[in-house]
C-alpha cells in the first residue's frame, strides 16, 4: 500500500445538506430511523411530535378537583391521546387539559385519562387518552374558565 492509498482510506466524506427539499427528506428519514421501534406498536392513530406548553388540572374519579393546576410540556399528540413531561409524578386518574398557546383552541378544555406514568431521568413522562367528558365532570365544572368548579 502506498502513501496515497493510505491517505485515501482515512478520508471522511462529509455531506452538507443544502436545499429545503433535502432537509425535509433528511428529517423524515431520520425520524423513520429513530422511531423504527415505535412502528411495532401498531397504534390506531399516528402520533405527531409536538413540543408546546399545556395547562393541566388534576381530578379524581368522582370529578372533584384533586390538585393545583400545573404547566407541562407535550412530547407527542395523536387524535386519541397525548404524552407530556412534568417535574413530578401525576397520580390522579384524570386531567383537564388546555392548550394556551393555540390561538384557535386556547379556551377549550379536554379530559385526559392517565394510563401511563414513568420516570425519565429527573422528569416524569405522563401519557393518556382523550375521553368524552365524563358525567361527573359536567356537574363539578361549571365552565371552561372555571376548571376548579368554583361556583361562586
Mean pLDDT of 147-151: 43
67-112: pLDDT as tens digits: 999 999 999 988 889 999 999 999 999 999 988 888 777 778 889 9
Question: Which fold does the domain 48-140 belong to in CATH?
Answer: Thrombin, subunit H (2.40.10)
140 φ/ψ angles, rounded to the nearest 5 degrees: -105, -15
What's the confidence (pLDDT) of residue 32? 66
Q: Residue ranges of the domains in the chain?
A: 3-39, 48-140
- Whether residue 47 is predicted with pLDDT greater than 90 in this model: the reply is no
Residue with more model confidence, 22 or 107: 107
- Note whether 117 and 90 are within 8 A (CB): yes
- Note whether 123 and 111 are within 8 A (CB): no
Q: Give the count of beta carbons closer than 10 Å to the beta carbon of residue 46.
A: 9
- Ranking 14-18, 36-40, 56-60 by mean pLDDT, the lowest is 36-40
- Note whether 63 and 140 are within 8 A (CB): yes
Dist. CA 110–CA 97, nearest whole Å = 5
Write down the pTM of the prediction: 0.62
What's the confidence (pLDDT) of residue 135? 62
Dist. CA 102–CA 54, nearest whole Å = 10
Band of residue 39 on the pLDDT scale cut at 50, 70, 90 = very low
Amino acid at each position: 500500500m502506498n502513501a496515497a492509498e493510505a491517505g485515501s482510506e482515512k478520508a471522511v466524506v462529509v455531506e452538507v445538506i443544502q436545499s429545503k427539499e433535502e432537509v425535509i427528506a433528511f428529517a423524515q428519514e431520520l425520524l423513520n430511523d429513530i422511531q423504527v421501534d415505535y412502528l411495532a406498536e401498531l397504534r390506531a392513530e399516528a402520533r405527531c411530535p409536538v413540543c408546546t406548553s399545556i395547562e393541566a388540572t388534576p381530578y379524581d374519579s368522582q370529578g372533584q378537583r384533586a390538585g393545583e393546576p400545573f404547566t407541562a410540556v407535550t412530547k407527542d399528540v395523536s387524535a386519541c391521546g397525548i404524552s407530556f413531561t412534568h417535574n413530578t409524578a401525576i397520580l390522579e386518574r384524570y386531567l383537564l387539559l388546555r392548550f394556551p398557546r393555540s390561538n384557535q383552541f386556547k379556551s377549550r378544555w379536554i379530559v385526559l385519562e392517565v394510563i401511563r406514568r414513568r420516570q425519565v431521568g429527573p422528569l416524569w413522562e405522563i401519557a393518556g387518552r382523550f375521553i368524552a367528558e365524563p358525567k361527573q365532570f359536567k356537574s363539578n365544572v361549571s365552565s371552561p374558565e372555571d376548571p376548579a368548579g368554583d361556583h361562586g
